[in-house]
Amino acid sequence: MKIASFAALALLAATSVSFAQPSQPPLSAEERTRWFREAKFGMFIHWGAYSVIGRHEWIRTMAQIPQADYDVYAKQFNPVKFNADAWVDLAKNAGAKYMVITSKHHDGFSIYRSQVSDYDVETTPYQGDPLKQLAAAAKKKDMRLGFYHSIMDWHHPDYRPRRSWEYPKNYKEGGNNNRYIDFMKAQLKELLTGYGDVAMIWFDGEWEHTLAEAKRDDEVYDFIRGLQPNTLINDRLYERKPGNKADFGTPEQYVPATGFKDPSGKPILWEACVTINNDSWGYNKYETEFKTDRDLIRMLVEVVSKGGNLLLNVGPKPDGTIQDEFVTRLNAMGRWMKVNQESIYDTTASPFERMSFFGRATTKGNKLYLHIFDWPKDGVLRVAGLRNLVHSAQLLADPSRRIVSKRDGDDILLTLPGAAPDEIASVLELTLDGAPVTVPFANRPDAKGLISLGVESCEIETEFEQRAKKENALGHVFLTRWTRDKDVPYWKVEAPKAGRYRVEAFYSSRKAGTPFTVEAGPAKLTGSSINSGGDWVFKSQPLGELELKQGATEVRVRLDTKSGGTINLERLVLHPAQ
């Protein structure tokens, strides 16, 4: 076993970056990120010593496992069935254009043969270097590869703070974070000089402010740029806020309602990292709940329609295989992508702020792609607010079908013959007379003065660990899995004049007594759910009156989930009060 002295670490980390031999000359930020903007879809891999336990990547601290006991598991890591080519093939077949794998997670165990650490794959029976094997397979198969690297380190003797459960009296004392940062730089240098072109360094664990408090975050940024100037760097090198120096933002386990913007309001690059299962990133042999093919395909479409990328995670088993629940879902995504990839790769965000139907949109030049989640019963799709002339329209899954378009004021009506070619997401390609030109969509009163707020036209205001999602079944479009009060559906409403409205809610619920609140600006109206007869029985409930101001207002519904109840919300209808 090698022993790396701190002097050696400092020398390795401090070596002048001018000696680095990047494979390409430095590119501008626009060119550096071009591949990322075009790719849209990547595969995340969390794999390490925690996979041996098979519960969670945080299991050492969740179960308060002493370091010596955890090391017993780490030394059992022996992925004898690991096949790097098979992993890359799985990603490619799913439609992913890049992969990101953990080089070191918070437990401090390096998943490669590090010359500056004694806590790596060399302490295990495994004779190979998983990262070298994966890098070789990725290069051979034209797959970009990046490395996740945790700033936080529960193992390194210099890192502070330590875990309070492990050192309750002095978890912040001692150590030397500057020396630890030298060690981290030494490992980054190994990754950036020994594994070919690195697509990105994906930092994590920044919330303990190690680099910021040492005032060395910019130093690490420049260090990476000097070694491989075109490697992308995510926002977690810094405080995780839109608009920092990094190349892209990283919302975790949720899809932001309107994408990511910097403090000036300008859209910025972002990537939603999401698990296929619900409980962990690393392998969890006890997991029983997984997102469906339908969830994942629609999530990819939603993320791309909002200008982002989707980084979808798998947690391989300790033997190096990937469980069937992940493989079958990735293969299903690949089948959909083979038909509809033109609507995903190299597209830009939807030109519509809101959709008038249940679906999403992406664009590419004068092409507008409409992703239809709920096929219209009458065969007519209204595309509200599209001002362009439509030269042609075709279904990507069945170009032979004849699609007729006609104008109706600011809207386009599309006649769709037959049934949906794909009940998850059918894609309609419109060729326009130029780049899409749209009229901002808002929910307005109809001829009778009613304002109908269907879930199809809402967005979900949310954050980490989103659960609520839109769904359609049996002729209904509704919000389901609404188990967190931080998931808030909202609509944009325009009232021609101020006035009072009677509010009626349509939903299903198996339990009475779940409180909820309807908000329209400062005005609030509270309600309590009825038992509608079950999850699939939708009924209406009058809630009372609410004042709307003239002009634009955002209407929100907040659910109080403390009681353990929930509802499947279909729509609100606002009736003008007499």
> Is position 438 within any domain?
no
- CA 312 – CA 296 distance, rounded (Å): 9
- CA 243 – CA 251 distance, rounded (Å): 13
> Is position 482 within any domain?
yes
Radius of gyration of the chain (CA): 26
Quick one: DSSP state of residue 49?
T
> Is position 23 within any domain?
no
The CATH number covering residue 427 comes to 2.60.40.1180
Q: Do 112 and 218 fall within a single domain?
A: yes
Q: Which two tokens stand for residue 174?
A: 């001692």
> Is position 350 within any domain?
no
Q: Do 153 and 41 fall within a single domain?
A: yes
Count of C-beta atoms within a 10 Å radius of residue 443: 22
Backbone angles phi, psi at 519, to 5 degrees: -120, 140
pLDDT by residue for the chain (578 residues), tens only, comes to 354 444 445 444 444 343 344 567 999 999 999 999 999 999 999 999 999 999 999 999 999 999 999 999 999 999 999 999 999 999 999 999 999 999 999 999 999 999 999 999 999 999 999 999 999 999 999 999 999 999 999 999 999 999 999 999 999 999 999 999 999 999 999 999 999 999 999 999 999 999 999 999 999 999 999 999 999 999 999 998 888 999 999 999 999 999 999 888 899 999 999 999 988 999 999 999 999 999 999 999 999 999 999 999 999 999 999 999 999 999 999 999 999 999 999 999 999 988 999 999 999 999 999 999 999 999 999 999 999 999 999 999 999 999 999 999 999 999 999 999 999 999 999 999 999 999 988 899 999 999 999 999 999 999 999 999 999 999 999 999 999 999 999 999 999 999 999 999 999 999 999 999 999 999 999 999 999 999 999 999 999 999 999 999 999 999 999 988 999 999 999 999 97
Q: Do 401 and 327 fall within a single domain?
A: no
Kindly write down the DSSP assignment for every residue of 276-345, as one continuous string. Answer: SBSS-SS--TT---B--HHHHHHHHHHHHHTT-EEEEEE---TTS---HHHHHHHHHHHHHHHHHGGGTT
User: Structurally, how many domains does the chain consist of?
Assistant: 3
**pLDDT digits 0-9 by tens, 261-279:** 988 889 999 999 999 998 8
Q: Which two tokens stand for residue 501?
A: 């409205």
Q: Beta partners for 102? A: 148
Q: Beta partners for 520? A: 523, 555
> Is position 92 within any domain?
yes
Of 401, 432, 463, the last residue of a domain is: 432
**pLDDT digits 0-9 by tens, 507-531:** 999 999 999 999 999 999 999 999 9
> Is position 351 within any domain?
no
| Domain ranges, residue 472 | 451-576
> Is position 352 within any domain?
no
Q: How far apart, in Å, are the Cα atoms of 375 and each of 192, 407, 427?
A: 48, 20, 11
- CA 86 – CA 89 distance, rounded (Å): 5
The CATH number covering residue 133 comes to 3.20.20.80
> Is position 485 within any domain?
yes
Q: Do 384 and 490 fall within a single domain?
A: no
Q: Do 89 and 186 fall within a single domain?
A: yes
Of 383, 398, 432, the last residue of a domain is: 432
Q: Do 478 and 569 fall within a single domain?
A: yes
Of the candidates 44, 62, 46, the residue with the CA atom closest to the CA atom of residue 109:
46
**Please, what is the average pLDDT of the chain?**
94
Element (H, E) at 405: strand 404-408
Q: Do 85 and 207 fall within a single domain?
A: yes
Q: Do 61 and 201 fall within a single domain?
A: yes
Q: Do 464 and 427 fall within a single domain?
A: no
Q: Do 110 and 142 fall within a single domain?
A: yes
Q: Do 267 and 386 fall within a single domain?
A: no
The CATH number covering residue 561 comes to 2.60.120.260
3-class SS at 77? Answer: coil
Q: Which two tokens stand for residue 361?
A: 């949109």
Q: Beta partners for 558? A: 517
Q: Do 377 and 459 fall within a single domain?
A: no
